[in-house]
């Protein structure tokens, strides 16, 4: 895989308040450049949700209402998030979720494409009993010594997902092959199905 041929790409992860649909409480956007996650230019935001964080969500990511009370509301940071992401590709684990939540919070934003490490892992490692982020971390054993925060925080999960993406991408010869394996149908960047040839 020639990583220098990749378009601009951000690995994203979001954490929510536990409501359905969720309010965001944390967003991370980690660029991948030259085959490495670039933490020096990553974006990470905490945001105070409109509705309180549920006890279950707070137990998962540790972001309680008290922790978030002094953080800016979403409308104060939305422009920064959108400016950083631009029209780049994004990647996430179980990307439908992150893409749907980000799209709802950034209605004018549309990425060039969406890679899903869950879909990619199923194509790359068929037969694994599980494809959760934790299961893939156990299977691939990426170096997470430089990961910020801890598991279930957006910055950690984005870093881990980036390392998983790079490990799996090394098994593909080209960006186009990676896209074919990793972009879910119906999401931006999905390869167009080949049309049946006709007599005309």
Residues labelled catalytic: 152
DSSP β-ladder status, 36-37 and 89-92: unpaired
Tokens of 128: 């694994």
DSSP β-ladder status, 9-16 and 89-92: parallel
CA neighbor of 133 nearest in space, from 60, 39, 24:
60
Judge whether 91 and 115 are in contact, CB under 8 Å: yes
- Paired strand residues for 32: 37
- Paired strand residues for 15: 26
Judge whether 48 and 63 are in contact, CB under 8 Å: no
Judge whether 39 and 146 are in contact, CB under 8 Å: yes
Judge whether 147 and 165 are in contact, CB under 8 Å: no
């Amino acid at each position: 895989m020639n990583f220098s041929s990749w378009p601009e790409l951000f690995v994203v992860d979001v954490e929510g308040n536990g409501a359905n649909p969720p309010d965001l409480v944390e967003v991370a956007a980690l660029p991948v450049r030259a085959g490495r996650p670039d933490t020096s230019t990553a974006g990470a935001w905490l945001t105070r949700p409109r509705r309180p964080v549920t006890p279950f969500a707070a137990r998962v990511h540790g972001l309680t209402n008290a922790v978030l009370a002094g953080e800016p509301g979403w409308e104060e940071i939305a422009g920064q998030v959108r400016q950083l992401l631009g029209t780049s590709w994004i990647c996430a684990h179980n990307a439908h979720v992150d893409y749907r939540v980000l799209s709802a919070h950034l209605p004018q934003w549309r990425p060039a494409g969406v890679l899903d490490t869950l879909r990619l892992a199923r194509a790359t490692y068929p037969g694994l009993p599980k494809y959760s982020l934790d299961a893939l971390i156990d299977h691939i054993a990426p170096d997470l010594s430089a990961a910020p925060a801890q598991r279930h925080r957006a910055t950690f999960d984005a870093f881990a997902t980036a390392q998983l993406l790079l490990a799996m991408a090394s098994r593909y010869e080209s960006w186009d092959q990676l896209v074919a394996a990793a972009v879910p149908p119906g999401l931006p960047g999905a390869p167009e199905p080949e049309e049946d040839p006709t007599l005309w």
